[in-house]
Amino acid sequence: MNIPDDAAPGRDATVYHLLQKCLPTYLVIDASSSMRPHQNTLNQTLAQLHAKISESPRVSEFAHMSLIAFSTEAHLIIEMTDLDRIEAMPEVVCNGLTNYSAAFDLVRSRIETDVDDLRGMGMAVLRPVMFLLTDGAPTDEGWHDAFRRLVDRSWPRYPHVITYGFGAANPDVLGRVATKAAFLADAGVDQDRALLAALGSLLNSLVASSRAGEMQIPRSAPGFTEQPVSAEYLTVSAEYMD
* CATH number of the domain residue 213 falls in: 3.40.50.410
Spatial contact of 217 and 161, defined as CB atoms under 8 Å apart: no
Does 238 fall in a domain? no
Does 12 fall in a domain? no
Dihedral sign (CA 50, 29, 203, 191): positive
Please give the pLDDT value at position 9: 35
Give the number of other Cβ atoms within 10 Å of residue 232's Cβ. 11
What domain count does the chain have? 1
Does 75 fall in a domain? yes
Does 222 fall in a domain? yes
Range of the domain at 168: 22-233
Please give the pLDDT value at position 88: 87
Closest CA to 146 of 179, 111, 99: 99
Please give the pLDDT value at position 67: 97
Q: Mean pLDDT for each 10-residue chunk of the chain (242 residues)?
A: 36 60 96 94 93 90 96 97 89 97 98 96 95 95 95 94 95 96 94 92 94 91 93 65 62
Please give the pLDDT value at position 54: 87
Spatial contact of 98 and 137, defined as CB atoms under 8 Å apart: yes
Indicate the pTM of the whole model. Answer: 0.90
Please give the pLDDT value at position 203: 93
Does 50 fall in a domain? yes
Please give the pLDDT value at position 64: 95
